Amino acid sequence: MTFHRLISSALLSGALAVPLASQAAEYVSIQQDKSTIAFGYKQMGVGMQGHFKKFSAALSFDPAKPAAAKAQFDVALASIDTGSAEANEQVADKDWFNTKQYPSARFVSSAIKSLGGNRFQVDGKLTIKGRTQPVSTVATMTPQGKDAAFDGAFTIKRADFAIGEGDWKDFGTVANEIQIKFHLSARAK
């Protein structure tokens, strides 16, 4: 009986260690082909959506030590896909993103903390067109073998970043609020 309990305890300990080991992984890279950075907004009251085709990331995230985590994302603004080639060209111009002078947007995390249940609050600074604003989001982590998916969303105001100048400053045509949605597939080292 004692031998049986010893074996049962060893098996139970081993079974419990497996989920803990998978949670102890440090995620260090983003798989761009499995990730998306998208946006939604209203144009003349109609919901519109788009995404960015190119971005890069520097990541160091251990779910067991979120306070030590760091994340930086650089989005190539000219890689925007609004669903229309004409609109893509227009938003690259000076009145919108001015991609010749400001080719990328950058997010840099400043604090990451666990909210429990694989949810993390991520605070940081977002810079677009040389203007920097604080942003905060909640990201939900879903472990997937060696990978983990991080999903979340936050809202920015385009006026805070001078996105849509000149005739486009009017929020009656294009709303001020832009929702940024992300699905990021991260790989552990």
- Average pLDDT estimate for 95-111: 97
User: What pLDDT is stored for residue 70 in this prediction?
Assistant: 95
Determine the Cα–Cα distance for residues 28 and 41; give it in Å rounded to an integer. 31
pLDDT tens for residues 20-56?
Answer: 334 458 999 999 999 999 999 999 999 999 999 999 9
Cα–Cα separations (whole angstroms), residue 138 to 39, 112, 113: 16, 10, 10
pLDDT above 60 (res 11): no
User: What pLDDT is stored for residue 189 in this prediction?
Assistant: 87
Domain ranges of the chain: 26-188
Determine the Cα–Cα distance for residues 152 and 154; give it in Å rounded to an integer. 7
Task: Give the residue with greater pLDDT, 104 vs 10.
Answer: 104
pLDDT above 60 (res 8): no
Percent of the chain with pLDDT over 70: 87
- Average pLDDT estimate for 174-185: 96
Confidence of residue 167 (pLDDT cuts 50, 70, 90): confident
Confidence of residue 82 (pLDDT cuts 50, 70, 90): very high
User: What pLDDT is stored for residue 10 in this prediction?
Assistant: 36
Pick the CATH number of 26-188 from 2.70.98.60, 2.40.128.110, 3.40.50.1700, 3.20.20.370: 2.40.128.110
pLDDT above 80 (res 3): no
Residue whose C-alpha is closest to residue 76's, from 43, 49, 104: 104
pLDDT tens for residues 122-145?
Answer: 999 999 999 999 999 999 999 998
Contact (Cβ atoms closer than 8 angstroms) between residue 25 and residue 62 = yes
Cα-trace Rg, the chain: 21
Determine the Cα–Cα distance for residues 170 and 49; give it in Å rounded to an integer. 19
User: What pLDDT is stored for residue 24 in this prediction?
Assistant: 59
